[in-house]
Amino acid sequence: MKRLNRLALLAALTTVGIGLVSCGDDEKVAPSPIETPDNPSNPDNPDTPSNGKVKVRCADCSGRGTCPTCQGTGQDCQQCNGTGQWCGACKGNGRCDLCRGSGQCFICNGSGTGNCYSCSGGGRCGVCHGVGKIYYGTTSVTCTTCGGTGTCSTCYGTGKRKCATCYGTGRCEVCNGKGICTVCHGNPVCSKCGGDGHCADCNRSGKCATCQGAGYTWEDPTDESDAFCPDSRHPHMIDMGGSIKWACCNVGAKKPVEYGNYYAWGETQTKQSYTWDTYKWNAPDDMTKYNKQDLLTKLEPTDDAATALWGSQWRMPKDDEYSALIGNCTWEHLYLAGTEGCKVTAPNGNRIYLPCTGWAADDNDPYNTVYAFGVYWASERLSDQFYGYACFFQCDFTDHTVEKNTQGRIRSLGLAIRAVSDKW
């Protein structure tokens, strides 16, 4: 889809009869716009400044306005931990990492010599073993290696040789005997904070460098996915009919076209691997919660990622709510802003966009499945305690149709979550 100006795109959608998205009570979705002398509001639309830009919550600080690196303190440079000293080679101590500052060869400990490799330091000929002769039964001949002397021909009987690492100098080959780091030359001043130990990302101010402490930025409304929402302050509550409203984007996403984060069923944190070994409720041949003993089939709020991360007004959908979304709405494959996914249109004309998220397993790499498949967790488990309900859809890139259903997925898999709300 060709990228368009947001206002032009909204006008085009209105012309063909597609209604704009309802977000419910705005006061419950996002705070009132903040006006500053640098960002004057347009009186005709308080959310849009006079230059036509839209207000977007700062992604770097999540709208808090504080520096995400130092958490607003302005202290403790993240590279040197506030010490002002850091060097990638010597870790800030200024010493040569090979000789630990001694300046001596680490092989010969500064002596410049080592045991002869031919005689292992014994000084004897390695062929005749110091006898000078080689015996064949009762007959002997003079050892041609040592010429009958019995001494090692390499070290001439001393048992020693020059150190092959330092060539007899006894000095460290990296720092040439100086004992100081060759990268920082013994002066490990932190390159990020300049040695004062303060946070360099905010220059001691404690403010987010992206939004300068405002908590938001003004951006051009050029993203095609903006047409699915009334503004860029996500998440919105979208009325798709029925007794609940759907979030406009996934948990962990900043806008509708992003995949968001991946969670195992009943977990509220992301992780590196999604297997039974890393699953929170796993036990050998059993589950420690939501099992046949406790008879819990629906996630409690503390284990619902949408509630735990977005607050009490949000939760994960139930299986029958996904079934209603599938049965009552029109699903169509749509490539939007560089992302494969589905446009889901309700009978009232409102729409949400569900990206093809795929799933994450043992390597937390869903990208081999994102191109055609979307899989989203529901809040209930199957009668088989090892499976949770999920909404599954597969796009046909030829005729743009969508195969969709609800099905069971093993609870340890990492899937995306699209939240719903029945509180507005």
Terminal-to-terminal C-alpha distance of the chain? 34
- Residue pLDDT, tens place only, 30-51: 333 333 333 344 444 444 454 5
**pLDDT at residue 45 in the model:** 43
CA distances from 391 to 350, 354, 378, 404 (A): 20, 11, 7, 8
Q: Give the pLDDT of residue 264.
A: 95
pLDDT at 220: 60
Burial class from Cβ neighbours inside 10 Å (0-12, 13-18, 19+) for residue 272 reads exposed
pLDDT of residue 398: 65
Q: Which residues in the chain come in under a pLDDT of 70?
A: 1-56, 191, 219-227, 363-371, 397-401
Peptide bond into 40 cis (omega under 30): no
Instruction: Determine if the pTM surpasses 0.75.
Output: no
Give the per-residue pLDDT at 354: 94
DSSP reduced 3-state for 239: strand
Chain-centre distance for alpha carbon 390: 24
